[in-house]
Structures are given as C-alpha cells and as structure tokens.
Chain A
Amino acid sequence: MNVSGEIIGAVLILIGAIFSLFSAIGIVRLPDVYTRSHAASKSSTLGVLCALVGTLLYFLISDGFFSIRLILGIFFVFLTAPVAAHVITRAAYRDKVPLAEQSVQDELKDYYMENEIARVEDKVEIVNYQTK
C-alpha cells in the first residue's frame, strides 16, 4: 500500500520534470516568440500538471490525505497557464515583434492592418470634427 503510492508518485513526478525540461529546451532553441510560446505553454503545463497529480496521489495513497488546496492549485494552473501564454503572444504581435525568417505565412497580418487603418481613419474623423 505504502510502496504503491511511492511508485505512482515518483513516476508521475519524474515524467513531469522531464516534460518541464523539454519545454525549457524548446524555449532555448526555437527561433521566435510565437513558436516559443508553444513550448512555454503546452508542455510546461503538462509537466506541472503531472507533478501536481503525482503529489496528490502520493499523499492520497500513503497518508489517506486528500488536499482540496492542491486540487484548487491544479485547476488554477490548468486554467491560467494557456491564458497567460495567449496574452503574452498577443502583446508581442501588437508590439510588432518580427516573425522568424523561415516562417511561411502570417494570416493575422491583413486583418490587423485593416483594423489599424480603420483606427487611424477614426482618429482622423475625430480630429476633423473637433477642428470644425
């Protein structure tokens, strides 16, 4: 009983740590912000989820202790890590961080340029209205 908890916890924690290492390798080696965001959000979230679930199962099996706080932590990390990555990537695009040289297409470009032109035209109209 005790040993099985240790085995499950150790395996899950080791898998989580290895996924975190993969994510860190991706963060070092990938060429620009947008590709790095994949490594930073997906595999990193999976790694920390594996580690937290391993901790939860270890304490559940070996002690019989079920931690609501740990469940809350798992839920919160699972909810917020992709949102944070999306927010950073959007900020980088609005800040005009360039894409990598070998990237093939930029589908957001036309849409974003239209929005930018519309915003500028709005400003021009407002200025014209104020000067009249």
Chain B
Amino acid sequence: MIFKTVLVIALCILALAILANLYRIIKGPSSADRVQALDSIGINLIASTAVFSVLLHTHAFFDLILLIGILSFIGTVAFARFIERGVVIERKR
C-alpha cells in the first residue's frame, strides 16, 4: 500500500517536471531552448513509463522505454541539424 503511494507520488513529481519543461517550450526565446526542453520531456517520459510498469506490475512496457529513447534522440539530432544548417539531410557535399 505504501509502495503504491510512493509510486503515485513519483508519478506526480514527474508530471510536475514535464509541466515545467512545457513552460520552457512555450516561453523559450530561441528554438534551441525549445528543442532542449523537448528532449528533457522525452527523458521524463521514459522515467514515467518505467514507474508505470512497476505500478501495473507488467513487463510489457520495456520495449516502449527503448523505443521512446531512440525516437527522442533521433528527433533531437534532426532538430539540431536543422537549426545549424537549415536542412536535415544534405544531398550533395
């Protein structure tokens, strides 16, 4: 019982962290700020997925953790290249 309460409290803290990142996404002066906050939201989502899988006592979400991690990293790198050079994939060098 105490265990589940602690897990729910951890989920609430993670939700607060995501809300704070959302504030930075809305307000952020440059687009690099926004991308950084989006990356941080992806990391927080990984943590909350892990907490959910403990709370529901299932192994089914472990694939999801890996998938969110990969997608978040690829999205961040693509956005960074877009900010830096204006294109994501360069055809000719």
**Same complex origin of A and B:** yes
- Across the interface, do A48 and B44 meet the contact criterion of CB distance under 8 Å? yes
Using a Cβ–Cβ cut-off of 8 Å, how many residues does chain A contribute to the interface with B? 51
Binding site secondary structure of chain B: helix
A91 CA to B59 CA in the complex, in Å? Answer: 38
B40, A24: Cβ atoms closer than 8 Å: yes
CA distance A67 to B61 in the complex (A): 11
| CA–CA, A76 and B66, complex, Å | 8
Known contacts A10-B7, A36-B33, A95-B32; A52/B16 CB under 8 A:
no
- Are B30 and A88 in contact (CB-based, < 8 A)? no
Contact residues in A for B87 (Cβ distance below 8 Å): none
Q: Which residue of A lies closest to B78 (CB)?
A: A87
Q: Which of B10, B19, B59, B84 contacts A90 (CB 8 A)?
A: B84
Residue numbers in A under 8 Å from B79 (CB-CB): 88
Q: Contacts of A90 on B, CB cut-off 8 Å?
A: 80, 84
Given A47-B47, A76-B66, A76-B70, A55 and B20 contact (CB-CB distance below 8 Å): no
Q: How many residues of B contact A (CB 8 A)?
A: 49
B77 at the interface (CB under 8 A from A): yes
Question: Which A residues are CB-close (under 8 A) to B37?
Answer: 27, 40
Known: A67-B62, A73-B62, A88-B39. A13 touches B51 (CB 8 A): yes
Closest 7 CB pairs of A and B: A92-B32, A24-B20, A24-B17, A17-B10, A17-B13, A51-B47, A91-B80
Name 23 interchain pairs, CB-CB below 8 A, sorted by A.
A9-B54, A20-B47, A21-B14, A24-B44, A28-B24, A40-B36, A48-B46, A51-B47, A52-B46, A54-B54, A69-B65, A73-B62, A73-B69, A76-B70, A80-B69, A81-B43, A88-B39, A88-B76, A88-B80, A91-B84, A92-B83, A97-B30, A97-B32
Interface residues of A (CB under 8 A from B): 6, 9-10, 13-14, 16-18, 20-21, 23-25, 27-28, 33, 36-37, 40, 44-45, 47-48, 51-52, 54-55, 58-59, 65, 67, 69-70, 72-73, 76-77, 80-81, 83-85, 87-92, 94-95, 97
